[in-house]
Amino acid sequence: MKNKPNIIVPILEIGTIISAFALIFTVILQIVTRRFFTDIAPSWTEEASRFFFIYTISFGAGLAQREGYFVSMDYFYRKFNPNTKRIIDMITTSISAILFLLMSVYSIHFIVLGMEETSPGLGLPMSIAFLSMLIMSGTVLYYLLKQLINQIKSESK
Amino acid sequence: MILLLILVFIICLLIRFPIAYAIAISCLVYIVINGIPIIILPLKMYSGIDVFVLLSIPGFILAGNLMNHGGITEKIIEFCNHLFGHVRGGLSLANIGASMLFAGISGTAVSDTASIGTVMIPAMKKEGYKADYSCAVTAASSTVGPIIPPSVPMIIAATLTGLSVGKLFLAGAVPGLLLGTGFILVAYIVSKSQPHKRKPRSSVSEVLRGLSDTFWALLMTFIILFGIIGGYFTPTEASIVAVVYAALVGLFIYRKLKLKDIPRIVLDSVKTSSSLMILVGFSNLFGWILVTEGLPELISERLLGFTTNKIVILIFINLILLMVGTFMETIAALLIMFPVLLNVAVEVGVDPIQFAVIAVLNLIIGLTTPPVGVCLFVASSIGKVSIDRISIRILPFLLVSILVLILVTYIPQISLGLPGLFYD
């Protein structure tokens, strides 16, 4: 069976790179305007760089989960036999998925709350900034579920 | 309630949940039992990472990675070989020297172990050094990374307390140099009893050429440090200046960095940063629960109720932090323990800047001790040696770390001297 092309990875990678470069550009702009044009950098630059930072981190979170960037302590885990390890893996992945499912659902509530607020510098609805939390939790959830499906498949084999 | 929070956290750690998720799950259990709205999860995650100074962490990680891909690691190692190669055990000394220089362009110990270790461990083995010793030297010396500026743990400490990043960076410089010098002494003494080969002494022109090759890397450390101290940049701005600088040096001076490599390096740095920031975000919630439950006050009351003697309190704090650092990852331990113990330290008259250095020193010792010493694991996978064997060979280096810790704990001038010189 031919594998379907995965569009999530390129979307997350492009999102990460655009946000990261926008962050770099905004901070450079902040330095240049403060040093060469005015004594104080425009207030929106700090806010914009924080927005881009949170988006960079949020787009990168799913990729980090996909590639196992999260540090864990496996000293005790290594002492278990392979069967116990498999069961533990499924339990930890399932509970982590529940955590990020709740995070995703409540991120939507968070976004709704943000519709009533605007950011002081840029005047943007805060829901745009809070959307990053949904991207973060949703993509981590997606890769946790994929991991769980793979674990179940290998167990049934 | 607090016991339940900690119990769930420990169980999650033991069954290999990622540390960030272990923190979040223990918080979730607490939230559900106490009927706190679950919206606090994304809310505290957002407020935890929406901090301007934290922007410098991906910046410094990216700058370090760009420098590394630009070929700086090999040049640093070459320079240190010219400096120390003619001494008995010269390669181990060069390894430590390279880690100290590399610490100035990276902010974490693990990246130091991986970057220096990949080149130095095979080179040392080839020259007849025992594999376990080569790994031990690499792992131990990489712990200067989070002390010598720029330092990711110092930025985290600044975020937690509002302390000046510039002061914290300066405060770590002398202890970092002491640590490195101590390691060099140990390596030199150990080498006297080993049949390690010496290389011919390098000529002055070779040393100078090596220095000029590493000059651009050293300059980056100075730009970061003096840019912040001189008030030219904020730490976040300094990290971005370092990114631009590292890219220019890699592309046009060392010419080993290719434009097409940059997106991959950016992605790699962001993934590392994302995993750190999620940890910071969930720890923000964990910290909020600890404060709500009054744990910092409780610990402060208990410890100060027992004694108000500064020396004894600092012994207690060091023991607690050493124990926590042995079982928990540095950043996670710092995020949880630093605000809790800072109150106690300040109550007995310890300067918060000095305390930050004490805390970071304590926690980095755990990077080279089993069961969760990340640097040990990285070095062991490069050198293909068991953790147990490296753990034994690393003991003399651990003694140096403990000695430096004692000095920094009881002689405030070691950490406060430089900040006092530049800031007051």
Query: Model ipTM?
Result: 0.94
- Mutation site, A50, A53, A56, A90, interface B, largest B CB count within 10 A: A53
Q: Does B337 have pLDDT greater than 60?
A: yes
**Nearest CA among B339, B283, B305, B364 for reference residue B112:** B364
3-class SS of residue A2: coil
B251 confidence band (pLDDT: 50, 70, 90): very high
What was the pLDDT predicted at A4? 60
CA distances from B70 to B66, B97, B108, B217 (A): 6, 20, 18, 10
CA distance A156 to chain B (A): 22
| Residue A2: pLDDT over 80 | no
Interface A–B counts its CB contacts (< 8 A) at: 164
pLDDT score for A5: 61
Rounded Cα gap, residues B37 and B291, in angstroms: 18
Q: Of the ranges A2-11, A79-88, A101-110, B78-87, which one carries the lowest mean pLDDT score?
A: A2-11
Q: What is the average pLDDT score of chain B?
A: 91
pLDDT for res A1: 44
Contact flag B240-A88 (C-beta cutoff 8 Å): no
Q: pLDDT by residue (tens digit) across B155-212?
A: 999 988 889 999 999 999 999 999 999 999 999 999 888 777 778 888 999 999 888 8
The total of other beta-carbon atoms located within 10 Å of residue B335's CB is: 27
DSSP run (H or E) holding B268: helix B262-292
The predicted pLDDT at position B36 comes to 96
A3 pLDDT more than 80: no
As a whole number of angstroms, the distance between CA A98 and CA A86 comes to 18
Q: What is the pLDDT of residues B115-126, one digit of tens each?
A: 888 888 988 888
Query: Is the model's pLDDT at A73 over the cut of 60?
Result: yes
Candidates A21, A99, A133; nearest CB to B46: A133
Asked if A146 is an interface residue toward chain B (Cβ–Cβ < 8 A), one would say no
pLDDT at B194: 78
Q: Which of A56, A77, A110 sits opposite B39 (nearest CB)?
A: A110
Q: Nearest Cβ partner of A133 from B25, B38, B42?
A: B42
Q: Is residue B45 over pLDDT 50? A: yes
- pTM attached to this predicted model: 0.88
Percent of chain B, pLDDT > 70?
100
Q: Which amino acid is present at B145?
A: G
**A153, pLDDT greater than 50:** yes
Quick check: A59 and B270 CB within 8 A?
yes
B57 → chain A, closest CA residue: A53
List Cβ neighbours of B160 (8 Å cut-off, separation of 6 or more). B287, B334, B335, B338, B339
Question: Is B202:B82 a contact under the CB 8 Å cutoff?
Answer: yes
Nearest neighbour of A57 by CB, restricted to B21, B277, B374: B277
pLDDT of residue A90: 96
- Percent of chain A past pLDDT 90, that is, above it, reads 72
- From chain B, the residues in CB contact with A11 under 8 A are none
Segment B301-316 shows an average pLDDT of 93
Q: How far apart are CA B180 and CA B268, in angstroms?
A: 29
Tokens of B252: 């046009």
What's the rounded mean pLDDT across residues B336-341? 90
Among the partner residues A28, A57, A107, nearest to B244 by beta-carbon distance? A28
Q: Is A139 on the interface with B (CB under 8 A)?
A: no
pLDDT of B2 > 90? The answer is: no
Question: Taking 80 as the threshold, does the pLDDT of residue A38 lie above it?
Answer: no
The residue ranking higher by pLDDT, A17 or B1, is A17
pLDDT of residue B139 exceeding 90, the answer is yes
Segment B321-335 shows an average pLDDT of: 88
Residues of chain A with C-beta less than 8 angstroms from the C-beta of B266: 16-17, 20-21
pLDDT digits (tens, 9 = 90+) for A94-142: 999 999 999 999 999 999 999 989 988 888 999 999 999 999 999 999 9
